[in-house]
Structure 1
Amino acid sequence: MSEPVPEKLSYAHGTGDTALLGDTIGRNLDRTVAVHGDREALVDVASGRRWTYTEFAADVDVLARALMASGVAKGDRVGIWAVNCPEWVLVQYATARIGAVMVTINPAYRAHEVEFVLQQAGVSLLVASLSHRTSDYRTLVEEVRGNCPGLRAVHYIGDPSWAELTAAAPAVTRGQLAAREAELSCDDPINIQYTSGTTGFPKGATLSHHNILNNGYFVGETIAYSEADRVCLPVPFYHCFKWYRFWEHASGRLPPPRAGASSFTGREYPGWEGWCTCRTNSQTTSVDTGRRRGGARKNSRIRPRCLSGRSARSSRATTGCGWKPSTCSPGPSA
């Protein structure tokens, strides 16, 4: 009797001149830090906090070690139910670095929707904001926690429980973190995205390092991002559009350098706030899903007055803009 053939992943893709990236998110971040460590990576306009790539990677490593110390193993589900903030991005990278699967949860979910996602995805550790609009997240989590036996820990951003999480990092050495990363493959899952649930309960889709990194990289190549670009992200972070936009400028193939651009987080700005953010921080590109204008405008040209040093007809000005027409309306297409 013949030996059984081991199962292998298969790929179906067209031919092209550019090979796909085979990195994990963590290894790709390390390469970016090595070349652009002193450049700004992340800016939170609301709080005024800023990170260079070196500083950002250091904080990612601390959080990754803290999650490992809290018992998060490769493949474990870590939920993020939070509004836009720097901690959201740190969790995003830290979970990818240790091989955990980050489950993004819509900040607008009500108790029954959160309960469904926590149960179906098997979330064992949840990171959450304290509140959003009229929702008290702590109250909602306690309301459903009894029905989610797999949920063993909850940490709230801006709360002592967040400090307790990060304080656990010294229990795991950098060598242990490196050993965990050495076990990872670019084909490992690192994210579960959920649909809006408008036609029933939300449905989850699993994404890998390979999925996310290559989507972001090739979009960035098409737009021709470089380390000089600064990108404003006022879109909700839980949406997959934001994931690709962040990685398209924070990652890349070296050489030539495509990485090292700066990302500016926004709290889902209304039009005038987004415009002021771009002007103050010299953005070259801003991104919005365009829902305020009745549809996605991910590839609209925007007028030169909204960009720093970019022509509205330049292919490098391709971006999304969902702001008010009086503030930042789309210009003519090239």
Structure 2
Amino acid sequence: MFFVSFVVKIFFDSQETMTMTQKLHFTLGTLLEDTARRFPEREALVYPERGLRLSYRELDEQCSRVAKGLLALGVNKGDHLALWATNIPEWVVLMFAAGRIGAVLVTVDTNCQAAELEYALRQSDASLLLMSRGVKDTDYSQVLTQVIPEFPQAAATNLASAKLPKLKRVIFLGEPAPCGALSYQDLQRLGEKVTDRSLAEAQRNASPDDVANIQFTSAAAGIPKGVMLTHYQIINNAFRVARRLKFSERDRLCIPVPFFHCFGCVLGILGCVTHGAAMIPLETYSTEALLRAVSAERCTSLFGVPTMFIAALDHPEFSRYEMGSMRTGIMAGAPCPIEAMNRVIKDMHAREVTIGYGQTEAAPIITQTETDDPVQLRVSTVGRPLPGVEVRIIDPATGNACPPGQSGEICARGDMVMHGYYKMPEETARTIDAEGWLHTGDLAVMDANGYYRITGRLKKMIIRGGQNIYPAEVEQFLQTHPGIAEVRVYGKPDPKLGEIVAADVKLAKDGGCSAEDIRRFCEGRIARYKIPAVINMID
């Protein structure tokens, strides 16, 4: 049979169609205003260890004050503001304050060092850097001094240099601010000089189709690319994902993932704000802090990668924490072993946890499982496309669409596809084709029911003696071994075959198996050439 095109579209019952296909035409500023109007006294942002609890009305008021401060500094629509901070309360406020006046928020990886910071600031044309004190043993002021040696003594009004010609100011999110920087409190005080009328005019000039966010993601040759995402894209992607989780204003989400990533700021922050739910972020991640937050704040939902869930379940004090309030959540970023999913459902009571797949260029989610999908589907697939998203699998060599059951590159099209890479038109054209399809670079297969399974990366394929092997496929199989907690599969150079299959294996607590035991487990169940020749036991 010749397949000209094979595109999956998901249809819902009448009630779901009305809600799931709804489109929100807001900017970040008008979205928060609308939620504050609907749920003024419901908790919006909670930091128990700080004793901070903001209602949606209070969060909206803080965002307006900070937005006025930005206007007082001369920030205009379209200006780029780089935010380099952990999951502190100011991060959330600044996201909406910048969006309220049409400025573009550039999210900076909290772990970046001098060369990476310089690249992010230069490539994004950031005119303002907002930074916190640091993370772990990294002092951000010291890192910035490596980029701008004169920073501590420079005037706070203009930091432009040959390396960073657009950078004007640094705002320090804390007290006391170092020389050469304004403090967050200074920013708020400056806002007292700006009228409500001026703020309203700036907000009217912002459009849902304007770029709201630039997030850096990896590229060919390791050169990061700035993904441009509009207000409309990130708000609607968050809304659809949270709707699939059946979110409401009664939900309380623990957010241990970083805000600088789409998982944290789009799915976490905006997923809550689109539904009036409460955000309970972790400033910096630790398993104990996660358990404490879920238990003390009666969280109903948790977002994270599978290792976060597994670490929580394996924590020696897990039984001390109350998990009965949990209902749902998202696991993304890696496959989840079925044993771990069963424990999440049974011991964490999160019976409606879903699996999501996507990438920053898709704002970010493309497919997601349903809350009532069988456990086997939730661990073996990444679900079906979100409403408004078209997905197809193509043969990487020919570009022809693949039928169900055949692996190929997964491509997506819809209103969530990025505006483009900032100042990289050629990279944009290589990633989004003339028909609007986003080429993810991931390999996947679709089953007869429209569920997708990721099989590997197009550029991370192992070629063993001419045989193509996808690491993710072997990883997913090995994770069915009851003695394996985590596994990473990769290619190892070999003089005879070109590459052989290697695996790093972390055993479950009661694993007790050897490398030879694992190979015997593979025999007769996967092709011999896919069985790892090298197995490293790691802790």
TM over 0.5: yes
- Aligned twin of 2:443: none
Confirm or deny: 8 A CA contact 2:282 2:289 kept in the other structure: no
- Aligned twin of 2:238: 216
- Aligned twin of 1:7: none
Superposed displacement of residue 297, structure 1: 5.3
Which has the larger displacement, 139-148 or 217-226?
A: 139-148
SS in 2 for 1:215: helix
The letter of the residue matching 2:237 is N
What is the alpha-carbon distance in structure 2 between the residues aligned to residue 85 and residue 58 of structure 1? 17
Confirm or deny: 8 A CA contact 1:45 1:265 kept in the other structure: no
The letter of the residue matching 1:249 is C
What is the CA RMSD across the aligned residues, in angstroms? 2.5
- Aligned twin of 1:23: 26
Q: How high is the TM-score relative to the length of structure 1?
A: 0.83
303, 318, 324: which one aligns with 2:354: 318
Q: How high is the TM-score relative to the length of structure 2?
A: 0.52
The letter of the residue matching 1:303 is I
1:71 maps onto 2:74 in alignment: yes
Q: How does 1:213-252 map to 2 (within 5 A)?
A: 213-245=235-267, 246-251=269-274
SS in 2 for 1:46: helix
The letter of the residue matching 1:239 is H
Q: Are the structure 2 counterparts of residues 128 and 121 from structure 1 closer, same or farther at C-alpha, using a change threshold of 3 Å?
A: same
What is the alpha-carbon distance in structure 1 between the residues aligned to residue 211 and residue 110 of structure 2? 23
Structure with greater proportional strand content: 2
115, 123, 136: which one aligns with 2:126: 123
What is the alpha-carbon distance in structure 2 between the residues aligned to residue 206 and residue 44 of structure 1? 30
What is the alpha-carbon distance in structure 2 between the residues aligned to residue 319 and residue 227 of structure 1? 22
1:105 maps onto 2:108 in alignment: yes
The letter of the residue matching 2:279 is S
Q: How does 1:77-226 map to 2 (within 5 A)?
A: 77-145=80-148, 146=161, 147-159=163-175, 160=177, 161-196=183-218, 199-226=221-248
Confirm or deny: 8 A CA contact 1:234 1:268 kept in the other structure: yes
The letter of the residue matching 2:345 is R
What is the alpha-carbon distance in structure 2 between the residues aligned to residue 82 and residue 291 of structure 1? 23
Structure with greater proportional helix content: 1
SS in 2 for 1:318: strand
Cα deviation digits, residues 159-216 of structure 1 (max 9, x gap): 2422111110012111111001111111000100001579423211000001100000
What is the alpha-carbon distance in structure 1 between the residues aligned to residue 335 and residue 73 of structure 2? 39
SS in 2 for 1:247: helix
Which runs of no fewer than 5 residues in structure 2 stay unpaired?
Answer: 1-7, 12-16, 149-160, 178-182, 312-331, 357-373, 379-539
When Rg is computed on C-alpha atoms for both structures, the one with the higher figure is 2
SS in 2 for 1:167: helix
317, 324, 333: which one aligns with 1:296: 333
The letter of the residue matching 1:296 is G
The letter of the residue matching 1:56 is L
What is the alpha-carbon distance in structure 1 between the residues aligned to residue 114 and residue 256 of structure 2? 25
The letter of the residue matching 1:92 is M
SS in 2 for 1:287: strand
SS in 2 for 1:115: helix
Q: Are the structure 2 counterparts of residues 162 and 198 from structure 1 closer, same or farther at C-alpha, using a change threshold of 3 Å?
A: farther
Confirm or deny: 8 A CA contact 1:81 1:104 kept in the other structure: yes
What is the alpha-carbon distance in structure 2 between the residues aligned to residue 198 and residue 127 of structure 1? 29
Q: Are the structure 2 counterparts of residues 222 and 172 from structure 1 closer, same or farther at C-alpha, using a change threshold of 3 Å?
A: same
What is the alpha-carbon distance in structure 1 between the residues aligned to residue 355 and residue 279 of structure 2? 14
Which has the larger displacement, 51-60 or 158-167?
A: 158-167
Larger relative contact order, structure 1 or 2 (CA cutoff 8 Å, min sep 6): 1
**Identical-pair percentage:** 32
What is the alpha-carbon distance in structure 2 between the residues aligned to residue 264 and residue 148 of structure 1? 36
What is the alpha-carbon distance in structure 1 between the residues aligned to residue 192 and residue 228 of structure 2? 31
What is the alpha-carbon distance in structure 2 between the residues aligned to residue 171 and residue 73 of structure 1? 16
The letter of the residue matching 2:234 is I
1:42 maps onto 2:45 in alignment: yes
What is the alpha-carbon distance in structure 2 between the residues aligned to residue 119 and residue 14 of structure 1? 41
**Regions of 4+ moved over 6 Å:** 13-16
Cα deviation digits, residues 120-174 of structure 1 (max 9, x gap): 1110111101122222211222321342121111011112422111110012111
SS in 1 for 2:276: coil
What is the alpha-carbon distance in structure 2 between the residues aligned to residue 38 and residue 198 of structure 1? 47
